[in-house]
Structure 1
């Protein structure tokens, strides 16, 4: 004997260990309704009630059919019209996306939510593949059908009008063509009526806008919809936004191997291929197809071809299905101003763009630029990598850059260099306002204004961009040498005070590939010599190369004839030779520098430099005489850098003389001055000297404190030699 609907309902409820109240809450029904159905007071629930109970109980397959049949007046499941199965064929080797599959499937299944999911992402990222894959996985959850429409939001054809899409759906659900309403409002209402009480999944693919898809959405919780679009559909009410990113490298490799299994024999080359494809599924599939069609090609050969940015998209082109064609669909639908701006944003070969940087590249105001960047982000042509920062996918950058004309992109890159240069020289003036180099500083361009050492913080956020911009500029014939050299020179104090010796060396060497006149060459060689000497002191440099650069630089400055600049070069030569251990040569250069310096900052710094070397050479009397004169010059100027330098040398002189209290006082004052100008390496070095002096004075706890502070600073810039010394001193504290 067949069980009644109430008996079947109770059996499933008890099997899930649910009370009537718990089931009512889960199905969004009243507890009284559940009780009436189980008692048989109501034998045949309404279609919507039936649908809610099926979802709450998680019934599928034969259990669902039995349940629905028992609640039907005719003893068979309700069935209206036809059962459409319109989903495109799934991908045979669907790869990755397991987290997104679980998320989307869970959202679509959940009766407590609207069952609406909007999958967004750049062209070629696999939105449709994912949506179709999830649709096939959920086929049993939607036994009343799956509807599919390509809304043509991005393509050569006009987007599908909502009324046309509604007509397609209604006819698929069994509504006669003559009965399809002629207005969007009436047709949308009819669709909601047809979907009520039915478990139907709608896949709205390639949507152009929220306005296009809103009329196509179901009105009851039984039906669900998955939307895909290259634009963020923020106006679709109750839709959960799922942004799709590129594939992780392991998944991209699996995808590549599905087309060309031999890639597993060349793992390094295969990894390089997927990296050059930027993990974009479309590009990875095309690369795999290229290998499959050319069995004689080693994977490494394709990797080499993809390494050339100018031909990369050629390798990934396949007529209307290639990467270029895919990206063009996204660009072509932009407003004219946005489409014109995009190639300029794509041209700078930098990791990402801040609003300030993008504004200079476009030569626009920051508010206008931010609105444009947000529009491009909504269009999935940019990614908001962090608050106020935007990033292009590598292949989108290559494609966008192709669209820029040579004069406009060179001008954009020049404006970027000028922005960086303006901030760099501002930071230089904060730390070293009396340098004769300021005579070379370029006219400032529109740039942020900074207080104290905030310019260093801003430059640190752009650290990797600085070198990237210079490397790109030296290869661009449309970019003049002056902004390149002046940017590199303006970064002197930023790189020195932050201990960024490797960056400093690299940017000077790069700028020297396009140095301009002899004066610029002399300045760049001087900075390069100081950077290489700093690296050599830390065990990662070349003193002979540094000495060669410094000699060439001094010769060029002397030929130029500017005493202030020549004196600076001689003083830096003194410093470089001192680091190399050539004290006699260092003293000779320093004394020559003194002959060109009046009673000014340059003379004060040269005196300190020489004082340090005379001590190393064993002439302590000259050391003390030079230090006294240096402090008499520098302290009235309130020159933090010069005072800090003089005080650390004085402190070490006091320690050597056995005057430990005076040494401690001088070293503490020096550390405070270094901190004042955010010179992290010098502050850390001074703290290590202070810690060693405190140990000698029998103050181990104070030594522990300052040495710990020094070790906290060193990772900001890296100095294994000084770090090793600090740790050795700390071990003495605990011994």
Structure 2
């Protein structure tokens, strides 16, 4: 049996014994004939292959001699006059007839062809065939015959091998076996340094095996070679592989969370429903398990869902999430995008880590829940479209939905298990009254049963009625039941017979009728509040009374189960009760009075927000929207102001939305402008909602002054989020509008923000020009605070090699002005940046002194962003001093703060600094990972400086490691 190898050095064996071909020329002839696959090769072709355009006169004779010796080697028993069958003469040339199974090149082509025939349906079989084909190779074709290295047949065969390798790599990546193909890809890219397709495959394989640092490093290597040797950047295929690697960024591990409200007091009955819930298929199914608890309003869906959720908490150790979708709130239901923001916040994803785009936000939510066991409770959903984006992507989670709607689409399309909740059985209804009232139910069983029936056996109505009974201990249950029956007869709406909702309204009206007039008015006004909860101060604004009287009214409502107290002195009103309160307001209060109440509510929150900002940012006071109404704010200190803003933020978002929809655009724009400095501290998801509401309101109103202000705020926010292109568009439009309306201060503010964007995008000359123009405007206006702020930004713009002295000059000027203005935050910011510049100038004692002072100020002010920047700048100083351990400590202290507040530029800069410190410590693998993370963030945001810094760092690490 003859076996031949040409996929590597030329070899042949007969029955396992190696054959000796002799000189390289003879191997060349044999190899070319083998590659021809049995087709004849002329003597002229052989001569051309061995000697090119200038063969010796003896070339034909040499070829004839090589063939004669090959015949002897291949057919040792053939007689001198017997024609050769293995290597016959054909015309003016020769053909080599070998059994195909014995020739490696023939087997290679056969295996590749078979692999092609089973793709794409059988990828694993194709991978096995391609793997066997590639295993036949032992080097370049005809590796020991260098004279044939450029022969077309050899070049074609080598190309076929690389095509097969690429196909094999794609299949291995697709089938989860990328690690096995990595050695071959590494070798291939080392040999073909400028082949973008090969490097793209290597990056994809690294990404598939979780080696993102190596993926980014491989990208950097080929990117640099393309730039240096060809003067071009990465093409589409290579860029796509790199972007895929970015998308595979690993999630930071999150601790278990629990945002469930507390379990229901005196939960009674529902044994059958709880048993059915216990039989719901678990997580051993393909899709995510979904349970829909549906039933009429007030039937106890939420109570049942929360009670069961608390029962099964231990089955979901990675967390329990809850969001009230307010699906039946006619004015402000929670959108799926906002709900995703709240769910991500519960999972610890905040700030710029919360994507703005709804699809990307949903993808991030699913990524956070992947491979985790989390219980998700979606309360008060109104439609399938409100729920579908909130569904996890894997079966480890359980979704529990409550709705008045059957949500048939979830059942049909997602396999949800639907549980219909009916009225409480009569014994359970009476038992609930007993749990709430006590022995009176045992003493008057008949009256208790009648009272349960009069309440429609609805838990909400039963609780309201029980509280009324408890407040009148001197009355019998029979007397109370008679009153309720009489009340029902007198209500015109009760023509609907046994409709359960009529029973609820009857009980509500019965309880409402017992309220003192001022408390009744407070209840009606509570229905006009668009926020998620009510405070005594907000109710005082709605009723025109004081906070103490409103607090007492809310406590009365809570005792009557017409409101529910929560933490922080706040009260929640059930959506049925809100609707009833709003209905009563429409019946009893004139429209102008209701409108004036809402105006007072909005004015209260705007004035309170402005007062909070005065305490936190006093130097900004002249430049915030004016406030006409003076109120006593519910806080007296800066800490209290910040606590109020944190607690009230969901309400402020709701009020801004309400104002934008209700034809009050000025309020939406003024609230956004008032809250800007607070929101820029890291509350980016809510900031986006508020500033976008303001922008929509201003555009609808057609007011250029409001539009310019809204665009400036939204542009500045987009800058903080790292969306530099969008930021620049908003800010340039704002500058034009400010100039047209004669608002020079607004134009200067937009210009300064634009300068920061231009700096981040690497256009330092444009950045400095924008800042200088803004500075000139503030100087003409005599606005010292504006001058100081722009000097700070100018200092940052010049904080680069060759310009550090200029940067220090501007920052020292900013510091002097901020000190004169007694602006502590401005002083701390100037000191922090000045310390960084002093470090670049190697004025290390000054640098440390400035930065220590800045950190003290920021910590005293509870200014997290400032603390993070100062720590990062201190890390820069220690790194320049070669104190790698201290630098490492500073960066690792700054990073969690940047991540929490969502400041992406700060995170990228600190990651690059950390990587440089890790390189100094000799921890190259960790350095690669940190630079890769910095590169991902800087690439996403378009931050040129940090992107270049990360790329350079990765190249250095690869050379050092």
Deviations 1:445-494 (A, max 9, x none): 323242234212111011111111111222224xx332222111100111
- For residue 687 of structure 1, what is the aligned residue in structure 2? 871
Partner of residue 507 from structure 1, selected from 684, 690, 710:
690
SS at match of 2:799: helix
The 1:602/1:228 distance shift into structure 2, 3 A limit, reads: farther
SS at match of 1:347: coil
Q: Distance in 1 between matches of 2:448 and 2:903?
A: 59
1:423 aligns with 2:721: no
Q: Distance in 2 between matches of 1:127 and 1:349?
A: 35
Deviations 1:263-284 (A, max 9, x none): xxxxxxxxxxxxxxxxxxxxxx
Deviations 1:603-658 (A, max 9, x none): 12211211211224743332233223323323232222222222222112122223
Q: Distance in 1 between matches of 2:615 and 2:272?
A: 59
1:329 aligns with 2:589: no
- For residue 348 of structure 1, what is the aligned residue in structure 2? 529
The 1:452/1:397 distance shift into structure 2, 3 A limit, reads: same
Contact 1:563 1:596 in 2 (8 A): yes
Q: Distance in 1 between matches of 2:740 and 2:476?
A: 78
Matches within 5 A, 1:91-490: 93=272, 95=274, 130-132=428-430, 147-150=445-448, 208-210=468-470, 213=473, 320-323=498-501, 325-334=503-512, 335=515, 336-405=517-586, 406-435=591-620, 438=623, 440-448=625-633, 449-477=635-663, 480-490=664-674
The 1:665/1:212 distance shift into structure 2, 3 A limit, reads: closer
Q: Distance in 1 between matches of 2:690 and 2:556?
A: 34
Q: Distance in 2 between matches of 1:522 and 1:135?
A: 59
For the pair shown, the structure with the greater C-alpha radius of gyration is: 2
Deviations 1:534-569 (A, max 9, x none): 112xxxxx3222111101111111122243333223
SS at match of 2:786: helix
Task: Note the C-alpha offset of 1:418.
Answer: 1.7
Matches within 5 A, 1:577-616: 577-598=758-779, 600-616=784-800
- For residue 272 of structure 1, what is the aligned residue in structure 2? none
- For residue 43 of structure 1, what is the aligned residue in structure 2? none
Q: Distance in 1 between matches of 2:624 and 2:434?
A: 70
Relative to the length of structure 1, the TM-score reads: 0.57
C-alpha RMSD of matched pairs (Å) = 4.3
Structure 1, unpaired ranges of 5+? 1-89, 102-123, 138-143, 158-202, 218-226, 232-313, 537-541
Q: Distance in 1 between matches of 2:450 and 2:623?
A: 58
Q: Distance in 2 between matches of 1:663 and 1:506?
A: 39
Q: Distance in 2 between matches of 1:131 and 1:615?
A: 73
Q: Distance in 1 between matches of 2:799 and 2:527?
A: 55
Q: Distance in 2 between matches of 1:435 and 1:365?
A: 30
Contact 1:206 1:228 in 2 (8 A): no
Contact 1:419 1:447 in 2 (8 A): no
Q: Distance in 2 between matches of 1:547 and 1:351?
A: 35
- For residue 623 of structure 1, what is the aligned residue in structure 2? 807
Partner of residue 850 from structure 2, selected from 661, 666, 669:
666
- For residue 363 of structure 2, what is the aligned residue in structure 1? none
Q: Distance in 1 between matches of 2:670 and 2:464?
A: 54
Number of corresponding residues: 474
The 1:481/1:100 distance shift into structure 2, 3 A limit, reads: closer
1:567 aligns with 2:748: yes
Contact 2:565 2:572 in 1 (8 A): yes
Task: Note the C-alpha offset of 1:214.
Answer: 5.7
Partner of residue 632 from structure 1, selected from 808, 813, 816:
816
Contact 1:499 1:717 in 2 (8 A): yes
Q: Distance in 2 between matches of 1:619 and 1:699?
A: 25
The 1:694/1:394 distance shift into structure 2, 3 A limit, reads: farther
Deviations 1:191-238 (A, max 9, x none): xxxxxxxxxxxx998574347556769xxxxxxxxx99999xxxxxxx
Q: Distance in 2 between matches of 1:381 and 1:429?
A: 36
Task: Note the C-alpha offset of 1:325.
Answer: 4.4
Structure 2, unpaired ranges of 5+? 1-268, 276-302, 309-421, 436-441, 456-462, 485-492, 924-961
Task: Note the C-alpha offset of 1:135.
Answer: 10
Q: Distance in 2 between matches of 1:506 and 1:230?
A: 48
1:527 aligns with 2:704: no
Q: Distance in 2 between matches of 1:553 and 1:562?
A: 10
Larger displacement relative to structure 2 (611-620 or 652-661): 611-620
Q: Distance in 2 between matches of 1:127 and 1:475?
A: 43
Deviations 1:155-209 (A, max 9, x none): 999xxxxxxxxxxxxxxxxxxxxxxxxxxxxxxxxxxxxxxxxxxxxx9985743
Q: Distance in 1 between matches of 2:667 and 2:832?
A: 36
Task: Note the C-alpha offset of 1:691.
Answer: 3.1
Relative to the length of structure 2, the TM-score reads: 0.44
Q: Distance in 1 between matches of 2:573 and 2:734?
A: 40
Task: Note the C-alpha offset of 1:595.
Answer: 1.6
Deviations 1:107-144 (A, max 9, x none): xxxxxxxxxxxxxxxxx99596634468999xxxxxx9
- For residue 39 of structure 1, what is the aligned residue in structure 2? none
